[in-house]
Amino acid sequence: MTLPEDTILSVRDLRTWFKAKRSTAKAVDGVTFDLKRGQTLAVVGESGSGKSVTSLSIMGLLAKPGAIESGEILFRDRTGSVHDLARFAPRQFRALRGREIAMIFQEPMTSLNPLYTVGDQIGEMIALHEPVSRAEARKRALDMLRHVEIPDAASRLDDYPHQMSGGMRQRVMIAMALACSPSLLIADEPTTALDVTIQAQILDLLRRLQAQFGMSILFVTHNLGVVAEIAHEVVVMYAGRVVEQAPVLDLFAHQAHPYTRGLLACTPDAERDLCADGARRALYSIPGSVPPITALPPGCAFEPRCAYRIPACTEALPPLVRVGANTVSRCIRSHEI
């Protein structure tokens, strides 16, 4: 197993399926991408596109009957050794999670234990992976609360999660995730449940902590507006497959796939949405919905919703093709678009 020196994570042809007696849900079906050291890769798509299942596959947190069918998840740890996480046993993941790879979730209230103070929970994470005393774990928990800029951190150390606002709880989750200085942080919709002002503060905090700790971030979201703020590279997923991948500036300048173009059109824009008479245009939405992954249409899965569809789109699954120097797209009309 080899990885380029500048790459910390390489997902290669990953297939994560949920098998039932009468059907198989191919939640992740042949996904490939690389994440470079110190950079942020955003994985974007609607609900049901396979974003979260991809991140849970990396973390070894899949719920039954989900399982990795095939593919590789190559990860370089802090010693430089490369591991295939797709082959890891549960006990191997327990040693890895928190120390080498950490994850923050969309709703911290469901991730934090309501019966323990935030200081105890951060300290427990530290003590689990490092041989430190209770006093030292508490001191480091306080340092982490200060790192994530919680006001009057010393007095909030003994607060319970319900005593904090949503933004504060998310900062606690970030503090817990970074307590052991992991190389990779997976952020699964970490700002969706927050209001716009707090969302901006959390994104700014993640950028500054990334520069400070030198970590790589896999940022899972459905919001392309958030992507513009934080990502270096973007992977767009639809119905369990990658449909476009490009550097963030290239993606916003030129969308090579109709689905990416539709997602961008759904993002509010103060100038674009203003009519000549001063009124606001109705917010655009992509027609239709994501098809069930147990019954995908033949050919391109996006074809029933696509404004660019032609008869050939229903004949076979389009391959990922290179469009320009740095973009790949799964559309037979990418060069025309």
The string of DSSP codes covering 20-34 is: -SS-EEEEEEEEEEE
Write out pLDDT tens, residues 231-255.
999 999 999 999 999 999 999 999 9
* Domain regions of the chain by residue span: 7-100+182-329, 109-181
CB 33 within 8 Å of CB 235: yes
Query: Which amino acid is residue 224, in one-letter code?
Result: L
How distant, in Å, are the alpha carbons of 136, 286, 303 from that of 29?
Answer: 45, 23, 17
Predicted pLDDT of residue 273: 52
In this prediction, residue 115 carries a pLDDT of: 93
> Are the C-beta atoms of residues 138 and 121 closer than 8 Å to each other?
no
Q: Is the CB of residue 259 less than 8 Å from the CB of residue 318?
A: no
DSSP 200-213: HHHHHHHHHHHHHH
Residue positions counted in the chain: 337
Averaged pLDDT for residues 199-209:
90
By C-alpha distance, which of 76, 17, 10 is closest to 41? 10
What architecture (CATH level 2) is domain 7-100+182-329? 3-Layer(aba) Sandwich (3.40)
Q: How far apart are the first and last CA of the chain?
A: 38
Confidence class of residue 11 from pLDDT cuts 50, 70 and 90? Answer: very high
* 153-186 pLDDT, tens digit each: 999 999 999 999 988 999 999 999 999 989 999 9
pLDDT in tens, 121-135: 999 999 988 889 999
This prediction's pTM:
0.92
Q: Yes or no: say if 207 and 295 are a contact pair by the CB < 8 Å rule.
A: no
Least confident of 72-76, 272-276, 314-318: 272-276
Q: Is the pLDDT reported for residue 140 higher than 70?
A: yes
Determine the average pLDDT of the residues in 208-212: 91
Residue 131, both tokens: 């041989």
> If pLDDT is split at 50, 70 and 90, which confidence band does 316 have?
very high
